[in-house]
């Protein structure tokens, strides 16, 4: 399934570079759901995520000529989505100039059975994080960026990136414990 998709996406490349509208639509149909899955982790709700997805795909189609085929086209498109999320975050930061303060918990080092959880549930938890924590956590834990890269992208120090990550993790763990608790309660009740 994955292999056939990859082949199809890469096959579209030549036509995409000619701005062929039909192949643009095909690419969108192939990748939109997956990319919305990415955007959802960076957004606070579905509306924001769909906005991100839309401007991300517009960028993809406009910049397709710059894709040199170093990696997979899907990976390149995913990076564009992530960069779009970073841009939106920066824009909001400038506009609102918000100093976010999250309560920090010293979460106990416990084991979580995440296999029992649905991605949808986890997504809710991540979306509840404040914008800065959410971004750093996503970039580091899921996208695999280094603290140095995150610092450069967001204009913060490496140390700040590290501390934001650990706070984000702590908050998530705290929320997971709470969720486990309610689940258990629901089970019992």
**Quick check: 67 binds another protein (CB under 8 A)?**
no
**Quick check: 182 binds another protein (CB under 8 A)?**
no
Who contacts 138 (Cβ-Cβ below 8 Å, separation ≥6)? 41, 42, 82, 85, 126
Q: What share of the chain is helix, strand, coil (3-state, %, to 5)?
A: 75, 0, 25
Question: Of the ranges 9-17, 39-47, 80-88, 150-158, which one interacts with another protein (CB under 8 A)?
Answer: 39-47
CA distances from 153 to 35, 41, 72, 117, 139 (A): 21, 18, 22, 31, 10
Cα(28)–Cα(17) distance, integer angstroms: 14
Q: Half-sphere exposure of 38 toward its Cβ, with a 13 Å CA cutoff?
A: 24
For residues 119-178, which are near another protein according to CB under 8 A?
A: 119, 122-123, 140-142, 166, 169, 173
**Quick check: 24 binds another protein (CB under 8 A)?**
yes
Q: Binding string to another protein for residues 89 to 108, with x set by CB under 8 A, is what?
A: -------------------x
Question: Of the ranges 5-13, 25-33, 65-73, 76-84, which one interacts with another protein (CB under 8 A)?
Answer: 25-33
Instruction: Report yes or no: 130 and 99 within 8 Å, Cβ to Cβ.
Output: no
**Quick check: 79 binds another protein (CB under 8 A)?**
no
Exactly one of 4, 97, 109, 186 binds another protein (CB under 8 A); which one?
109
Four-point Cα dihedral 119, 125, 126, 132, nearest 10: 180
For another protein, the closer of residues 93 and 149 by Cβ is: 149
Closest CA to 15 of 98, 55, 73: 73
For another protein, the closer of residues 50 and 158 by Cβ is: 50
Judged by the rule CB under 8 A, the positions of this chain that interact with another protein are 19, 21, 24-25, 28, 32-34, 36-37, 40-41, 46, 49-50, 53-54, 57-58, 61-62, 108-112, 114-115, 117, 119, 122-123, 140-142, 166, 169, 173
């Amino acid at each position: 399934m994955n292999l056939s998709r990859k082949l199809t996406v890469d096959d579209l490349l030549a036509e995409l570079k000619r701005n062929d509208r039909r192949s643009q639509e095909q690419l969108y149909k192939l990748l939109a759901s997956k990319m919305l899955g990415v955007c959802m982790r960076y957004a606070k709700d579905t509306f924001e995520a769909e906005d991100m997805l839309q401007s991300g795909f517009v960028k993809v189609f406009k910049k397709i000529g710059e894709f040199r085929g170093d990696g997979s086209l899907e990976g390149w498109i995913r990076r564009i989505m992530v960069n779009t999320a970073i841009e939106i975050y920066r824009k909001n930061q400038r506009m609102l100039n918000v100093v976010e303060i999250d309560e920090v918990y010293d979460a106990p080092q416990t084991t979580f059975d995440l296999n029992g959880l649905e991605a949808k549930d986890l997504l809710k938890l991540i979306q509840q994080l404040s914008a800065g924590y959410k971004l750093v956590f996503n970039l580091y834990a899921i996208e695999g960026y280094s603290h140095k890269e995150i610092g450069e992208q967001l204009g913060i120090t490496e140390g700040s990136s590290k501390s934001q990550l650990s706070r984000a993790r702590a908050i998530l763990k705290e929320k997971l414990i709470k969720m486990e608790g309610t689940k258990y309660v629901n089970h019992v009740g």
